[in-house]
């Protein structure tokens, strides 16, 4: 809005100059820079999956387990679960508190964009081809994604579930 904004190379950024850092640029970036930021006194809120399974980093959904924030000072890093897990937990917490929950069955429908640029391009290409009476070409997904819903997200694990499905189990701790 008519103002210049200074952009600094992350490798040269002085994290001691900021109180809070929001990290959402991918797990490899968080792995490299979040510990540096935390050590410099910056409180890191990490939106990637990189720290979610580390015991000494709290996995927090404020509406569900705000007390977990107490443990953030060990490394100055706070992790949050993936988006599907957060929504599920916020909705289920009042029910759990009132009557308990023994088991849930969950279905999520994820955007193609979550798979990346190649998947978006494949969706666009398949859509154009199908609308022009041509056969869809599948390279990113095992089946046609245009005008379709696939029971497939991320890679399949040995237990038959996908990694994305297992994240909901692992991150509900």
Residue 163 lies in a domain: no
Closest among 50, 43, 42 to 24, alpha carbons compared: 50
What are the DSSP E strand ranges found in the chain? Answer: 20-23, 43-46, 77-79
| pLDDT tens-digit readout, 87-132 | 999 999 999 999 999 999 998 888 999 888 999 999 999 999 999 9
Which of 3-12, 34-43, 159-168 is least confident? 159-168
Tell whether 14 is covered by a domain.
Answer: yes
For the domain that residue 68 is a member of, what is the CATH number?
A: 3.40.50.720
Residue 67 forms part of a structural domain: yes
Q: Which of 63, 72, 164 is CA-nearest to residue 110?
A: 164
Q: What residue numbers bound the domain in which 35 lies?
A: 10-80
* CB neighbourhood size of 85 (10 A): 22
pLDDT tops 80 at residue 53: yes
The number of folded domains in the chain is 1
Burial, 129: exposed, middle or buried (Cβ in 10 Å; 0-12, 13-18, 19+)?
A: middle
Q: Token digits for 13?
A: 């950024």
* Residue 4 is assigned to a structural domain of this protein: no
In a domain, 33, yes or no: yes
Model pLDDT for residues 54-83, shown as the tens digit of each residue: 999 999 999 999 999 998 999 999 999 998
């Amino acid at each position: 809005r008519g103002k210049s904004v200074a952009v600094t190379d992350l490798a040269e950024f002085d994290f001691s100059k900021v109180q809070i850092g929001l990290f959402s640029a991918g797990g490899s970036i968080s792995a490299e820079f979040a510990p540096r930021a935390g050590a410099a006194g910056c409180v890191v809120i990490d939106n990637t999956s990189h720290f979610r399974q580390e015991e000494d980093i709290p996995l927090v959904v404020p509406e569900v387990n705000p007390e977990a924030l107490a443990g953030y000072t060990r490394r100055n890093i706070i992790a949050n679960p993936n988006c599907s897990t957060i929504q599920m937990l916020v909705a289920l917490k009042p029910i759990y508190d009132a009557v308990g929950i023994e088991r849930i069955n969950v279905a999520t429908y994820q955007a193609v964009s979550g798979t990346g640029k190649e998947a978006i391009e494949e969706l666009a290409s398949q859509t154009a081809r199908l609308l022009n009476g041509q056969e869809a070409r599948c390279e990113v997904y095992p089946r046609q994604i245009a005008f379709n819903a696939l029971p497939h997200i991320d890679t399949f694990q040995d237990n038959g579930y996908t990694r994305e499905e297992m994240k909901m189990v692992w991150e509900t701790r």
